[in-house]
Structure 1
Amino acid sequence: MPRLVLFGVILVAAVIIYAVIDCIMSRANEVRSISKVSWVLAIILVPVIGAALWFLFGRPSGGSGGSGPRQPRRPSAPDDDPDFLRNLEIRRRQEQKEAELKAREAELRAREEQQDRRSDDGKPGA
């Protein structure tokens, strides 16, 4: 029985320590309900209830609490992504330039053929 009590005390202490560290590592503007300092005091002064309340009502919605590096939010749709839109615009311009280049090449070939026909027509007796 004493071992079970000791295990329970260690478990409760670990949860409280984790709650305090999680609260301290959280960004102040993401903490819900009350201020960050108030949460730390609540967790320390009313250990079990304070830690439980922190996990239920105070912890940031993301669930990570601020531990570890945060990844920037990626747009949910391609038309919200500025990189995608920029690449789309670049691709559109390149395709437009290629189409203009092909049209110019076709025009030059047509002129060259026309000049060849004129020069062939002007040559005597072939």
Structure 2
Amino acid sequence: MVRFIIFAALISVALMIYTVIECARSEAHQVRSLPKPAWFAVIVFLPLIGAALWFTLGRPLSAETSTAQTSRAPDDDEDFLRQLEVWRRQQQRDAELTAREEELKRREADQQKNQSTERPSKETKDHKNKSDGNGTAAPES
């Protein structure tokens, strides 16, 4: 008989702790019948009866309203996937822009290089065509 009383006391304490935690985690505006502090008093001072009353009269109606959020995998979250796609497109645009800038810089450098090599040779050609070396102009062909 003593073992049964100890077992019943342990079950009663465990149920009371569970009920107090559940009462504490529930939103104040969702608790039914009594305010939360009153429910704490009922649960603590009437362990088995208080727990039964909480589950029947005070507990919020649905489990959906609890504050615990269900975790979802990132690949199931539409917002995450949308944000990932936006990030990927931005990275692609940045890479294309960088490639275009490099191509433009390369073309400008080639163009400047070509202009600097063309000018001296063109000037020397023009100078040779205009004079024959003794101060007289050579006929143009």
Partners of 2:43 and 2:54 within 8 A in 1: yes
Deviation at 1:113, TM superposition (A): 4.3
Taking structure 1 as the reference length, the TM-score comes to 0.52
Change beyond 3 A, Cα 1:55–1:110? farther
Distance in 1 between residues matched to 2:110 and 2:50, nearest whole Å: 84
Deviation at 1:120, TM superposition (A): 6.5
Taking structure 2 as the reference length, the TM-score comes to 0.48
Partners of 2:20 and 2:43 within 8 A in 1: yes
String of CA shifts for 1:10-60, please: whole Å, max 9, x gaps.
221232134225534x3644x633232242133235432432454673487
Distance in 2 between residues matched to 1:62 and 1:55, nearest whole Å: 17
Q: Which has the larger radius of gyration?
A: 2
Structure 2 matches for 1:1-126, cutoff 5 A?
1-24=1-24, 26=25, 28-29=27-28, 32-34=30-32, 35-52=35-52, 54=54, 57-58=59-60, 61-62=66-67, 76=77, 77-78=79-80, 91=91, 94-95=94-95, 98-116=98-116, 118-119=118-119, 121-122=121-122, 123-124=124-125
**How many residue pairs are counted as aligned between the two chains?**
112
CA RMSD of aligned residues (A): 4.3
- Where does structure 1 lack aligned partners over 5 or more consecutive residues? 65-73
Distance in 2 between residues matched to 1:112 and 1:89, nearest whole Å: 34
| Highest RCO, 1 vs 2 (Cα 8 Å, sep ≥ 6) | 1
Change beyond 3 A, Cα 1:93–1:38? farther
Q: Percent identity?
A: 22
2:119 counterpart letter in structure 1: S
* Secondary structure at the counterpart of residue 104 of structure 1: helix
Change beyond 3 A, Cα 1:52–1:101? farther
